[in-house]
Structure 1
Amino acid sequence: MRSQWPADLPLGVILPNDADVEALEGDLPRLALVALQFPKWVDGRAYTQARLLRSRYRFTGEVRATGDVLVDMMPLLARTGFDAVALRGDQSVEVAERALGFFRGHYQGDARDNHPLFALPPAAVEALVAEPVQEFVGQGAAI
Structure 2
Amino acid sequence: MSDKIIKNGRVVADDRLTVSLAEGEVPADIAVPAGPVLVPLAVWQARREELLARARSGEVGVWLAAGEDVAALADDLGLLQIVGLHFPKFTDGRSYSAATLLRTRYGYQGELRAIGQVLRDQFNYMTRCGFDALQPQAERYTDEQLEAAVASIDDFTQPYQRSVKDPLPLFRRVERGTGREVQQ
TM-score (norm 1): 0.78
Structure 2 match to 1:70: 119
- Counterpart-to-counterpart distance in 2, 1:103 and 1:15: 28
How many residue pairs match? The answer is 125
Show the counterpart of 1:14. 63
- 1:98-142 superposed Cα distances (whole Å, 9 cap, x missing partner): 2212112112211123112222265xx647xxxxxxxxxxxxxxx
Per the TM alignment, residue 12 of structure 1 is displaced from its structure 2 partner at its CA by 1.3
Larger strand share, 1 or 2: 2
Which residue of structure 2 lines up, in the alignment, with residue 131 of structure 1?
none
- The partner residue of 2:140 within 90, 95, 99 is 90
Helix, strand or coil at the partner of 1:76: helix
Is the aligned partner of 1:105 residue 2:133?
no
| CA distance in 1: counterparts of 2:92 and 2:173, whole angstroms | 33
Q: Which stretch shifts more, 62-71 or 83-92?
A: 83-92
**Cα separation, 1, equivalents of 2:140 and 2:64:** 23
Q: How many percent identity over aligned positions? A: 39
Unmatched 5+ stretches in structure 2? 1-47
Q: Secondary structure at the match of 1:13?
A: strand
Q: Cα deviations across residues 27-55 of structure 1 (Å, max 9, x unaligned)?
A: 00111110111111111111111011011
Unaligned stretches of 5+ in structure 1? Answer: 128-143
> C-alpha separation between the residues in 2 aligned to 1:105 and 1:121?
10
Q: Which 4+ stretches in 1 moved above 3 angstroms?
A: none
Aligned-CA RMSD value: 2.1
